[in-house]
Amino acid sequence: MKLIKLISWQYARKHKLRSLLTMAGIVLGVAVFVGMHTANQSVMAAFIKTVNRIAGATQLQVTAGEAGFDEEVLERVQAAPGVRVAVPVIEAVVNLNLRSQGNILILAVDLTGDRSLRDYTLEEGEDTVIEDPLVFIAQPDSLMVTREFASANQLAINSKITLDAMDGPRTFTVRGIMQSSGLTSAFGGNLAIMDVYAAQKVFGRGRKFDRIDLAVNKGEPVAAVRARLGQMLGPGFEVDPPSARGKQFEALSSVYGAMANLTSMFALFIGMFIIYNSFAIAVTQRRSEIGILRALGASRGQIQTLFLAESALLGLAGAAAGVLFGLLIARGISASLGEFLGEIYGVAQRADEIASDPKLLLGALAMGVVTSLIAAWIPARGAAQVDPVRALQKGRYQILSAGENRVRRITAFALLGVVVFCLSFTQNRIAFYGGYFLTVIAGLLLVPTVAAWLSRALRPLMKTLAPVEGTLAADSLIQSPRRTSGAVSALALSISLVIALGGMARASYDAINEWMRVAFNPDMFLTATQNITDRSFRFPVSFADAVREAPGVRVVQLVRNGRLRYNGGPVMFVAVEIAKLERESFLPAVEGDSSTMYKRAAAGEGFILSDNFAQLYNVHLGNPLTLNTPNGPLTLPVVGVVRDYSDQKGTVLMDRAVFIKNWNDDSINIVRLYLQRGVTVEATRQWLERQLAGKTRFFIFTNRDLKAYVTKITDQWFGLTYIQLFVAVLVAVLGIINTLTVSITDRRRELGVLQAVGALRHQVRRTIWLEAIAIGVVGLLIGFLFGVVALYYTIEMSARDFAGLRLEYTYPWGMSAALWPVILGAALLAALAPAEQAVRGSLVESLEYE
């Protein structure tokens, strides 16, 4: 410890900028990790809080996917032994027509008695919440809002509020104001309660409920009642504790979490190189200091410990800064994440507070320290091996020995051999990811060799461009692979990440565009909700009859979709008239026979799966697929697999008749319209609005609207990717700054000589700039090579584990080209400060500098 204070602290103080830069990788990596996870957790926590608050005393919840179930189920559940009380629930998130108030969560419960209220609000002796219970249930426009909501919007008893109902905007009357309680803080206070039977009408649920909340008799084990109910209701129903909803939500947002991990890991990995680099340089620069320490009696172990302790402290400081920074950005991320999850999954959630999990924060700190320790391990060992006698002599020790380089090369090729073996002989997951890891290591081991080789190749070119500055810059790279290769590795890694993610994004856009072109070809879409992923509202089947009468409509397709649980995962079902689908938007089979697949599915003989469903659940052509329905399990063979991107969790396509029969549900959420030639979308829109105004609430999306919407969602999704790319490039650029800072210190004498023999200041600056650009060029070239491999793995990874999407391998040439100005510009930017530093300071000192 004393040594650290005496030696390391002095060194760090002397090299403030460099110490800060060295930490930057850790700071960013940890910040991204903490920021993204905290945001995710906050949204999760808000969701779970809402679920819990709403659940109140609920011990179990009965659901049947998103399809809902018939009312009679309620009586069966209420009559089941062990059930103390069971209340029907309908839940919907509705857009408020109030100034920028966003959404409100409507919780519709049975208000026959005050039972539900008591159980929900958990407040005893409160009975002023509802002005007049009889009026409340007698009038279907009754609404009870939270005190917070009421005061925020200046609402009082008998105030009117307009919400979107099935038949258009409808005015509701506030007939109750809830006292502040656990419940009222759910969904950020934007919560209203209405009668469940009124809600059936308002939200087009027919005679169905979404859910039954129940509590068991005192003394009865919850698990026993759960098992009993599960048995009684059959496999179409799920009986779970309320916490299970959180798990489902978690499953939905898991892709995001994985993404957050990937980004932070990459940032840390790149940061690790910067630290390695800095320490390797520090060890070289401090050789004489180490020599003196050794001469004074420090053991090898002590030297190694000194450097490791230094790195641990550095890691800790960086991680601490990262944690703070991460918490700072978490709020912003959580806002956009909440919105984004709402858009994609229709689960709107507002996170009002940031949930900082101490475990996560501690983990992040540990991560920073461990990363730093790993990075410093080899340099620390190198320091320990410094020979005190040789260290006290002057000289250069930068150059990697030829032997060391050979060992690296041999190791790299051996590793690559293992990887090729892994890929060609096994599909095993560990082998796959292990292979990826080994490829990266092999690539990194080769970086010094390739970088030196590339720099040599660049030298003549740079010499022609700027004889002195160019040559010196190139030589600086060639001569100090240890200094350079860290920065080059970091840059190459981040460029490969850009190529991999960018390539995947490109491939996804192409695939999604192609899919939209074929599958999204109706001229108009009518939906029951403003947002196509929200399924709070549904049309009764009679709506379709009204639409069919519209003049100029060629084909009307009825769609009902929603989420089901399959093997514990939330998958999407789409029930549609498949015969019509085949005629209008024919997606060729990826597996199966395109010509018969639709006919068989239309006849109710089987399911058609999306490619990602088949991948994620490993169900393929000909396999039987069992879905749980309210009428019991339904098993049909898979008759085909198509490339469909409707949902990240996989889609099952079935004929509408199959759904109606097995789910006892003929409601619709989307109507797809094809118009006759010559009929305009606008004319049809006007006709529909005229005819249906005031009868049924609906939203019209034109073909272009919907495509724009899908593109927007895709953009948002890849927006996250672009954050990753930005972080990766940022860390790499910090690496360049770091390397250049070291470079000018190392070359202080050389730069002094240059000035002494007549170099003007801009000439000195230029050589630093050129060095940065050379690092950029070498990093880009190696990064492009890495990218080839990384893209392969990323596409495989997304197919295997994330979204089950099979994407074409297309190298993003355009993006590679665009990277040149970006990276070189960034490199130049990184060189500005070091270059200024190089021309400042005393010439005399630099000439004497050693």
Partner 1 sequence: MSKYALLLAVAAMAQDARQIVEESQKRHRSNSQRYEGVLQVFNPNGKNSEKRWQFSRVGNYGESKALLRFIAPPEVKGVALLIVNHTDRASDQWMWLPELQRDRRVALQDRSTRFFGTDFSYEDLEERDVEQSDFKMLGEETAEGQACWKIESTPRKTRASQYGRVVMWIRKDIYFPVRYEMYVKDQVVRRLHYRKIEKTQGVWSALELNMEDLRRKGRTVLKTEKLQYNVPVKEEMFTLQALRRGE
Partner 2 sequence: MVALDTVDLRIDKAEVVSLVGPSGSGKSTLLNLIGGLDRPSSGDVEVDGARLAGVSDDELTRIRRDKIGFIFQFFNLLPTLSCLENVSLPLHLRGWPAAKIADRAKELLTLVKLDKRMEHLPDELSGGERQRVAIARALSVYPPILLADEPTGNLDSSTGAEILDLLRDVHQRLNATVLIVTHDRGVAEACPRRIALKDGRVVKDERG
List contacts with partner 1 (CB under 8 A): 74-75, 78, 84-86, 110, 112-115, 118, 125, 127-128, 130-135, 137-140, 197-198, 201
Binding mask 763-802 for partner 2 (x = CB under 8 A): x---------------------------------------
Q: How far is the CB of 110 from partner 1 (least distance, A)?
A: 8
Residue 115, binding choice from partner 1, partner 2, none, Cβ under 5 to 8 Å by partner class: partner 1
The nearest distance, CB 197 to partner 1, in angstroms, is 6
Shortest approach of partner 2 to residue 775 CB, angstroms?
A: 16
User: Among 226, 252, 240, which residue's Cα sits nearest to residue 83?
Assistant: 226
Residue 751 interacts with, from partner 1, partner 2, none (CB under 5-8 Å by kind): none
- Whether the CB-CB separation of 774 and 462 falls below 8 Å is answered with yes
Rounded Cα distance, 814 and 818, in Å:
6
Alpha helices for 629-702 (secondary structure H): 656-663, 681-692
Token readout for 202 is 């308002």
Residue 86 touches which member of partner 1, partner 2, none, C-beta under 5-8 Å by kind:
partner 1
**Partner in contact with 754, chosen from partner 1, partner 2, none, beta carbon below 5 to 8 Å by kind:** partner 2
770 vs 763: CA distance, rounded Å:
10
Does residue 253 interact with partner 2 by CB under 8 A?
A: no
| Residue 748 structure tokens | 């202080």
DSSP helix/strand/coil, 259: helix
Sites for partner 2 among residues 478-497 (CB under 8 A):
478-479
Tokens of 324: 């703070």
Given partner 1, partner 2, none, residue 268, with its beta carbon under 5 to 8 Å by kind, binds none
- Cβ burial of 383 (10 Å; 0-12, 13-18, 19+) is buried
- Shortest distance, CB of residue 75 to partner 1, whole angstroms? 7
Token pair recorded at residue 326? 């991460």
Q: Minimum distance between the CB of residue 386 and partner 2, rounded to whole angstroms?
A: 22
Task: Tell me which H or E stretch contains 572.
Answer: strand 569-576
Select from 22, 471, 646, 669 the one that contacts partner 2 (CB under 8 A). Answer: 471
Interface residue with partner 2 among 383, 528, 759, 772 (CB under 8 A) is 759
- Pick from 417, 467, 624, 633 the residue near partner 2 by CB under 8 A: 467
Tokens at 29, concatenated: 């990596």
Q: Alpha-carbon dihedral of residues 512, 515, 516, 519, nearest 10 degrees?
A: -150
The yes or no reply on residue 400 touching partner 2 (CB under 8 A) is no
**CB 450 to partner 2: min, Å:** 20
Token pair of 477 as six digits: 């790279």
Pick the piece of the chain touching partner 2 (CB under 8 A) from 162-170, 270-278, 475-483, 543-551.
475-483
Decide: helix, strand or coil at residue 286: coil
**According to CB under 8 A, which one of 755, 794, 798, 816 is a site residue for partner 2?**
755
The angle subtended at Cα 548 by Cα 527 and Cα 658, nearest 5°, is 70
CA dist 106 to 71, 569, 657, Å?
19, 26, 31
Which string of x and - marks every residue 732-751 that binds partner 2 (by CB under 8 A)?
-----------------xx-
For residue 217, the minimal CB distance to partner 1 (Å) is: 10
Cβ atoms of residues 504 and 798 within 8 Å: yes
Question: How many other CB atoms are there within 10 angstroms of residue 513's CB atom?
Answer: 16
- Give SS3 for 449: helix
Binders of partner 2: how many residues, by CB under 8 A?
28
CA distances from 331 to 39, 42, 53, 321, 629 (A): 7, 9, 22, 17, 40
Q: How far apart are CA 727 and CA 729, in angstroms?
A: 5
761 interacts with partner 2 by CB under 8 A: yes
The 829-848 contact track toward partner 2, x by CB under 8 A, reads ----------x--xxx--x-
**Binding residues for partner 2, per CB under 8 A?**
396, 467-468, 471-472, 475-476, 478-479, 749-750, 752-763, 839, 842-844, 847
